[in-house]
């Protein structure tokens, strides 16, 4: 393959990656709150169980590698390399009712790919993850079909 063909292939691949990124949802809404993707687009839209003790360890300053080791890969097609937001759908058990609740969780990374913030779409999920009064990520007003749920619960 000659250099001209290689350059053309590289330019085509770069353009395709840029266009693919244009279709991604923004990390924040116009009011500055985190934007969550449509849950039906997740690799497991029904959710997956997470080790809650590991989840509670996800805090600002951790690297992507550390987050990956704690809660694994994101559940949407946002990718792992070069992105600043990972989204998850976790199943959490309500100890009082034994009900299983599917919860959307988001990790945002800074320009150095360290955690700058973590968020729950719904306040109930933040409470379930926190357990006995422990600190966890704040919940935000969701951008889904039930905008009445959510709200800040405190710093992550």
| Alpha carbons 124 and 128: distance in angstroms, whole number | 6
Annotated domain spans of the chain = 39-128
What pLDDT score does 151 carry?
Answer: 37
- pLDDT at position 45: 94
Position 26 scores a pLDDT of 58
pLDDT for the residue numbered 155? 38
To the question of pTM greater than 0.75 for the whole model, the response is no
Element (H, E) at 20: helix 3-22
Split the chain (156 residues) into runs of 10 and give each run's mean pLDDT. Answer: 54 41 57 90 95 98 98 94 96 92 97 97 96 62 40 37
**CA quadruple 64, 127, 129, 49: dihedral, nearest 10:** -110
Kindly state the tokens that stand for 67: 């987050």
Q: What is the CA radius of gyration of the chain?
A: 18
CATH number belonging to domain 39-128: 3.30.1450.10
């Amino acid at each position: 393959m000659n250099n001209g063909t290689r350059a053309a292939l590289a330019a085509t691949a770069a353009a395709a990656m840029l266009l693919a990124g244009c279709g991604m949802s923004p990390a924040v809404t116009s009011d500055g709150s985190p934007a969550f993707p449509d849950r039906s687009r997740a690799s497991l839209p029904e959710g997956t169980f997470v080790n809650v003790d590991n989840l509670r360890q996800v805090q600002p300053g951790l690297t992507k590698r550390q987050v990956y080791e704690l809660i694994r890969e994101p559940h949407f097609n946002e990718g792992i390399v070069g992105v600043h937001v990972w989204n998850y759908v976790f199943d959490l058990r309500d100890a009082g009712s034994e009900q299983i609740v599917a919860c959307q969780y988001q990790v945002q990374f800074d320009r150095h790919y360290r955690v700058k913030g973590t968020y729950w779409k719904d306040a109930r999920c933040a409470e379930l993850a926190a357990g006995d009064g422990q600190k966890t990520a704040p919940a935000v007003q969701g951008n889904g079909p039930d905008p009445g749920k959510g709200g800040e619960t405190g710093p992550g």
